[in-house]
Amino acid sequence: QLQQQQQRVAQRLLVVANRLPVSAIRDGDGWDLKLSAGGLVSALLGVKQNFETRWIGWAGVNVPDEEGRASLTEALALKGCVPVFLDEDTVDQYYNGYCNNVLWPLFHYIGLPQEDRLAATRSMDSQFNAYKHANQLFAQVVFSQYQEGDVVWCHDYHLMCLPKFLKDLDSHMKVGWFLHTPFPSSEIYRTLPLRSELLKAVLTADLIGFHTYDYARHFVSACTRILGLEGTPEGVEDHGKLTRVSAFPIGIDPDRFIQALETDQVKLHIKELRRFFAGRKVMLGVDRLDMIKGIPQKLLAFEMFLEKHPEWQENVLLVQIAVPTRTDVPEYQRLTSQVHEIVGRINGRFGSVTFVPIHHLDRSLAFHELCALYASTDVVLVTSLRDGMNLVSYEYVACQNSKKTEGVLVLSEFSGAAQSLGAGALLVNPWNIREMCGAIEVALNMPENERKERQRHNFTHVTTHTAQAWADTFVSELNDTVVEAELRTLH
Ligand code: G6P
C-alpha cells in the first residue's frame, strides 16, 4: 500500500514565494521582465529537473488595470510564472511594513532603530491584517492553479499564514513551508506581539524546513515555550498530530556558473578585468544593500586595514556591488546614505588621482559580468551580521576553479553558510572590525597551497550540495510525511 501510494507522488510542484524569479517593469504596452535579486531566486532557478514547476508570486509591480493584469499574466505564463496582484496599500502595509520592517529585522536579531520602534509598534496591528489579507490572496491564486496530487511549497517569512489558508481550502493539499532567513532564538521571537498566531499557522504545514539545525531547534523551542506543545526529534506534536520540522541546507546550481565561465563572453570579460586590475589584489563584495549584510562594518574593516598597512595602499582595491532593495523602507534609505558616506571618506583618504580604493556600484550586474568578477578577484568578503544561508559565498566558490590561484572566502560566522563552508573559509565575527581587518591581512597573504586546499574543500561541497538536491530531498520528504500521516490515520 505504501508503494502504491508513493507511485502517486506528485510531479507538479507549485512553488509559492512573495517574489517571482522575474520582476516586471511596464514598457509601453508591454512588459520588461528582469531576473529578481536575492538568494531565494538564485537557488530556485537551480530547481528545474524532476518536477514540472509552476511559480506563483508577486511580480514587484502595481498593476491596477485589468488590461495590464491580463497582458502581464500572459507574459509571465511563458516563464512558467503565475502572478499574485497586490495593490499599493497592501504592498506598503504587508511588504514594506510587516515583512520588511517587523519580521525581517526581528528574525535577523537586528531590531529597529530607536526612532522607528514606537511607530512600528503602533502600526503593527493594521500591518498584520494586511499581511493576512496578502496571504489570503496568495492562497486564492494557489488554489486556482492546484490539481489533486500537486505539491505546494511555500517559501519564506512573507507567507507564514499561507499553509493555514491553503489547508482551510483543501485539507488534503500537500503543503510544505520553508524559511530562508534564520529563525531566531525563542527569547527574541517571543517579543513579537502576534507570535502565537504565526506559529500556529505555520504548524498546519505537513513539513517545515530551515537551512540549519539551529534555526529548526529555535523554531521547535518557540512552539514549546509559546504554545506549550511538545517538541520531539521529528518536529512538533500537537495532541497526536505531528508536524515535521527539519534542516535542509540549500545550495546553488553550480553548473550554471561553471558553464558560464566557458563562454566566450565571460572569458573576454575576465581578460578585460585582469588587464584592468593588473598588479593589484582585488577583494569583492556582492550584497543586496541590506542592513543584515554588514556592509558598513566591512568598509570599516577595509579602512582599518589600509590605515594599519600603508604598504598595501594602492596595491589592493575593493569592488563592492550593492544591489538596491526595499527602497521604500526608511531604514534601507538611511543605510544607503551611510554606505555612500563611508565609501566617500575612504576613497577621499586613500585614493589618488590615478587610483580609487573602493569601486562601489549601486546596481546589480548582468550574469556574465558577475561570473567574470567572481572568477577574477582574489578575496570575497561576506560579512553578514546574520544571514539565513548566503549563496554569494557558494557562487564565488563555484567560479573559482577556473583560475590557477584560488580565491579566499572570508565568511561571517553568523551566516548559515558558515556551517557548510566553515572549514574552507576564513570565519569572522563581523561585529569585530579588528578581527575582520586581521582576516583581510591573512586572506591577502595566504600561501597558494593553503588557498588550494580550502577551495578544494568548498568546491566539493558546493558541487555536491546543489539546489536540485535540496529540492529533491525536501519534496520527497514531504511526500513521505503525507503518506505516513495517511497510514497513521488508517490504523
Ligand atoms: C531574501 C529573502 C527573499 C527575498 C530576497 C530579496 O533573500 O529571503 O525572500 O526575495 O531577500 O528581497 P526582496 O524584498 O527584494 O524580495
**Predicted ipTM of the assembly:** 0.97
DSSP 96: I
Residue closest by Cα to atom 11 of ligand 1: 38
Residue 7 has pLDDT above 60, yes or no: no
pLDDT of residue 486: 80
| Closest ligand 1 atom, residue 158 Cα | 9
Cα distance between residue 72 and residue 77, in whole Å: 8
Is the Cβ atom of 325 under 6 angstroms away from ligand 1?
Answer: yes
- Judged against a pLDDT cut of 60, whether residue 408 lies above it is answered with yes
Of 385, 388, 379, the residue nearest 420 (C-alpha): 388
Q: How far apart are CA 408 and CA 454, in angstroms?
A: 8
- What Cα–Cα distance (Å) separates residue 285 from each residue in 318, 320, 370, 417, 427? 7, 5, 11, 16, 15
What's the confidence (pLDDT) of residue 404?
Answer: 65
Whether residue 39 has its Cβ less than 6 Å from ligand 1? yes
Indicate whether residue 290 lines ligand 1 (CB < 6 A): no
Strand partners, 355: 352
Query: Global pTM?
Result: 0.95
pLDDT grade for 117, boundaries at 50, 70 and 90: confident
DSSP single-letter state for residue 431: T
Q: Closest ligand 1 atom, CA of 325?
A: 15
Mean pLDDT for all residues in the chain:
93
Say if residues 357 and 317 touch (Cβ distance below 8 Å).
Answer: yes
358 contacts: CB under 8 Å, gap ≥ 6 = 299, 302, 317, 318, 319, 320, 343, 346, 347
Cell 506598503 belongs to 92
Sequence-distant (6+) residues with CB within 8 A of 70 are none
Residue to mutate (ligand 1; options 36, 162, 331; most atoms within 8 A of CB):
36
Q: Is the pLDDT of residue 48 over 80?
A: no
Whole-number Å distance between alpha carbons of 454 and 411: 13
Is the minimum distance from the CB of 96 to ligand 1 under 6 angstroms? no
Contact 390, 294 (CB under 8 A): no
| Residue found by looking up cell 578585460 in the block | 272
Q: Which of the pair, 321 or 240, is modelled with greater confidence?
A: 321
Predicted local confidence at residue 120, as pLDDT: 80
Rounded to the nearest angstrom, the distance between the alpha carbon of 332 and the centre of ligand 1 is 14
Residue of 15, 16, 18, 19 to test ligand 1 pocket, by largest number of atoms within 8 Å of CB? 19
3-state DSSP assignment of residue 22: strand
Residue 296 in contact with ligand 1 by CB distance below 6 A:
no
3-state secondary structure of 136: helix
* Integer Cα distance of 372 and 358 in angstroms: 18
Of the listed ranges 25-29, 303-307, 349-353, 462-466, the one predicted with least confidence: 25-29
Whether residue 416 has pLDDT greater than 80: yes
Task: Determine if ligand 1 sits within 6 Å of the CB of residue 19.
Answer: yes
316: enclosing H helix or E strand: strand 316-323
Q: What is the mean pLDDT of residues 7-30?
A: 84
Over residues 126-178, the pLDDT tens digits come to: 999 999 999 999 999 999 999 999 999 999 999 999 999 999 999 999 999 99
Percent of the chain clearing pLDDT 70 (strictly above): 97
**Residue range 54-111, pLDDT digits in tens:** 999 999 999 999 999 999 999 999 999 999 999 999 999 999 999 999 999 999 999 7
Residue 401 CB–ligand 1 contact under 6 Å? no
What is the distance in A from the centroid of ligand 1 to the CA of 39?
7
Rounded to the nearest angstrom, the distance between the alpha carbon of 38 and the centre of ligand 1 is 5
CB-CB contact of 428 with 379 (8 Å): no
Q: Is 180 in the pocket of ligand 1 (CB under 6 A)?
A: yes
**Three-state SS for 358?**
strand
Burial of 356 (0-12, 13-18, 19+ CB in 10 A): middle
Distance (Å) from CA 446 to ligand 1 centroid: 34
Task: Give the span between the Cα atoms of 39 and 397, in whole angstroms.
Answer: 15
Q: Which atom of ligand 1 is nearest the CA belonging to 180?
A: 8
Q: Is 209 near ligand 1, meaning CB less than 6 Å away?
A: no
Judge whether residue 2 has pLDDT over 70: no
- Cβ–ligand 1 distance for 23 under 6 Å, the answer no
**348 C-alpha to ligand 1 centroid (Å):** 33
Q: Using a 6 Å cutoff on CB, does residue 38 contact ligand 1?
A: yes
- CA 441 to CA 362: how far, in whole Å? 27
Across 463-473, average pLDDT: 94
Q: DSSP assignment, residue 355?
A: B
**Distance of CA 453 from the midpoint of ligand 1 (Å):** 33
Q: pLDDT grade, residue 402 (50/70/90)?
A: low
Q: What SS3 class is residue 441?
A: helix
